[in-house]
């Protein structure tokens, strides 16, 4: 689920009321509340709705959930952001302009300019810099990046990348970037629009994997973002096709082969991907295998919505009709905008699907 951005002049009192409202919704056993708690409270990350409702939720639990829902690791950090903001808290600025460390900021400036020689000299002068992190809060991701992660231009800062960005990335890797930095950068590159538009997404994937990044770690995210060139590149670099990837790519026979041994979390994600990309036969196969249509999508996979929402918004009529035929609830609202699948179809301009969903719901309730 995307985090909820704070308004320009956030009110701590208003956020306190949000926490109290969440406590009330938890007491009322609202499934939307359960999904928000599951995603944003680390203690409930793998809990089912019934387990969440059976646990006592304190005000501090609710405040932690609200803080993380807005992109902050804790309530005190959210409170500090509002009461004592610093340059790093300027959410209206692009990320590189929020960097307070002059050494790190200069490195990003050299990176953005494509000055590989200047960057090499700067990192030689400051050898620890390649292992350091800069702290950003209040966003969906990119909250604690290393220098290497800036090569992905994801999130978008400038909307472009230097032509020699692959060489720039190698300068940073040669200076000592490894492990988590490589893997995090690969995920950002594989899901990044700018890298693809600049025709450097696949070359960056190739060099990152060649230098030690794990291709499998970025596959699901790339598929969820519809970055299929990246998916194919990751597969060439050693990534393995599992049930979710087969569902995203519409590889029905591979999905049928993989389904019997797939873990529950992979089945759950596969249904999301089949709905998202309109692969109706794989969706039918997963439903026949017992997947629950009315469950919110997995964390990190459009988790504010259900498969029905995703299929409706994308305009996959065959999938939507299959879901309705199988008894999907049509009154479930997403946790971010409070819309039903029919509302999502309307927002996406899918008029025929919207009409079908509203007529189907009327038949059930009328």
Q: What sign does the CA torsion over 182, 188, 194, 199 have?
A: positive
Quick one: pLDDT band at residue 302, thresholds 50, 70, 90? very high
Whether 1 shows a pLDDT value over 70: the answer reads no
DSSP for 198-218, please give it. Answer: TT-HHHHHHHHHHTT--THHH
Quick one: pLDDT band at residue 9, thresholds 50, 70, 90? confident
Q: Are residues 150 and 285 in the same domain?
A: no
Higher pLDDT, residue 3 or 325: 325
pLDDT, one tens digit per residue, over 243-288 is: 999 999 999 999 999 999 999 999 999 999 999 999 999 999 999 9
Half-sphere exposure of 323 toward its Cβ, with a 13 Å CA cutoff?
A: 35
Which of these, 34, 37, 30, 35, lies nearest to 68 by C-alpha position?
A: 37
What's the CATH number where 217 sits?
1.25.40.20
Whether residue 245 is contained in a domain is answered as no
Whether residue 338 is contained in a domain is answered as yes
Instruction: Judge contact between 287 and 324, C-beta under 8 A.
Output: no
Whether residue 7 is contained in a domain is answered as no
Could you tell me the CA-to-CA distances from 138 to 133, 193, 229, 249 in Å, in that order?
16, 21, 30, 33
Instruction: Take residue 252 and report the two structure tokens written for it.
Output: 């029905």
Q: Are residues 72 and 130 in the same domain?
A: no
Q: How far apart are CA 6 and CA 70, in angstroms?
A: 7
What mean pLDDT is predicted for residues 24-35? 95
Among 85, 107, 141, the domain boundary falls at: 85
Whether residue 322 is contained in a domain is answered as yes
Q: What is the pLDDT of residue 140?
A: 84
Q: How far apart are CA 80 and CA 328, in angstroms?
A: 43
Half-sphere exposure of 88 toward its Cβ, with a 13 Å CA cutoff?
A: 20
Q: Are residues 103 and 224 in the same domain?
A: yes
Q: Are residues 72 and 159 in the same domain?
A: no
Q: Are residues 75 and 103 in the same domain?
A: no
Residue 207 burial by Cβ neighbours in a 10 Å radius (0-12, 13-18, 19+): buried
Q: How far apart are CA 50 and CA 329, in angstroms?
A: 19
Q: Are residues 59 and 120 in the same domain?
A: no
Which of these, 277, 285, 265, lies nearest to 310 by C-alpha position?
A: 277
Q: Are residues 72 and 115 in the same domain?
A: no
Q: What is the pLDDT of residue 364?
A: 83
Q: How far apart are CA 273 and CA 271, in angstroms?
A: 5
Whether residue 4 is contained in a domain is answered as no
What mean pLDDT is predicted for residues 112-134? 97
Q: How far apart are CA 322 and CA 307, in angstroms?
A: 11
> Over pLDDT 90: what percentage of the chain?
91
Q: Are residues 103 and 217 in the same domain?
A: yes
Average model confidence (pLDDT) for the chain? 95
Q: What sign does the CA torsion over 252, 253, 257, 260 have?
A: positive
Instruction: Judge contact between 12 and 79, C-beta under 8 A.
Output: yes
Range of the domain at 154: 95-240
Whether residue 50 is contained in a domain is answered as yes
> Over pLDDT 70: what percentage of the chain?
99
Among 51, 85, 119, the domain boundary falls at: 85
Quick one: pLDDT band at residue 108, thresholds 50, 70, 90? very high
Q: Are residues 233 and 255 in the same domain?
A: no
What is the tally of structural domains in the chain? 3
Q: Are residues 216 and 273 in the same domain?
A: no
Quick one: pLDDT band at residue 151, thresholds 50, 70, 90? very high
Q: How far apart are CA 250 and CA 241, in angstroms?
A: 12
Whether residue 110 is contained in a domain is answered as yes
Whether residue 3 is contained in a domain is answered as no
What mean pLDDT is predicted for residues 173-196? 97
């Amino acid at each position: 689920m995307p985090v909820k951005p704070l308004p320009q002049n956030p009110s701590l009192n208003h956020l306190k009321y949000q926490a109290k409202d969440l406590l009330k919704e938890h007491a009322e056993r609202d499934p939307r509340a359960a999904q928000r708690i599951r995603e944003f409270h680390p203690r409930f990350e793998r809990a089912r709705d019934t387990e969440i409702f059976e646990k006592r939720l304190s005000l501090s639990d609710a405040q932690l959930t609200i803080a993380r829902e807005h992109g902050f690791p804790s309530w005190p950090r959210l409170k500090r952001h509002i009461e004592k903001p610093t340059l790093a808290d300027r959410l209206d600025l692009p990320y590189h302009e929020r960097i307070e460390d002059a050494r790190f900021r200069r490195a990003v400036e050299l990176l953005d300019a494509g000055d590989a020689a200047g960057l090499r000299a700067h990192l030689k002068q400051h050898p620890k810099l390649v292992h350091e992190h800069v702290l950003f809060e209040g966003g969906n991701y990119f909250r604690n990046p290393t220098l290497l992660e800036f090569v992905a231009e994801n999130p978008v800062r400038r909307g472009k990348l230097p032509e020699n960005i692959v060489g720039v990335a190698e300068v940073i890797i040669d200076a000592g970037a490894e492990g988590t930095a490589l893997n995090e950068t690969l995920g950002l590159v594989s899901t990044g629009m700018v890298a693809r538009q600049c025709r450097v997404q696949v070359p960056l994937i190739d060099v990152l994997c060649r230098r030690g990044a794990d291709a499998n770690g970025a596959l699901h995210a790339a598929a969820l973002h519809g970055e299929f060139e990246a998916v194919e590149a990751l597969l060439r670099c050693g990534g393995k096709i599992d049930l979710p990837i087969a569902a995203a790519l519409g590889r029905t026979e591979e999905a049928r082969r993989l389904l019997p041994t797939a873990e529950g979390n992979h089945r759950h994600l596969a249904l999301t991907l089949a709905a998202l990309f309109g692969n109706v036969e794989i969706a039918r196969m997963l439903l026949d295998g017992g997947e629950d249509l009315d469950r919110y999508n997995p964390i990190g996979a459009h988790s504010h919505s259900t498969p029905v929402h995703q299929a409706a918004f994308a305009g996959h009529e065959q999938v939507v009709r299959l879901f309705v035929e199988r008894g999907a609830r049509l009154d479930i609202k997403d946790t971010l905008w409070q819309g039903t699948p029919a509302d999502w179809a309307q927002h996406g301009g899918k008029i025929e699907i919207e009409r079908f969903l509203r007529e189907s719901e009327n038949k059930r309730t009328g």
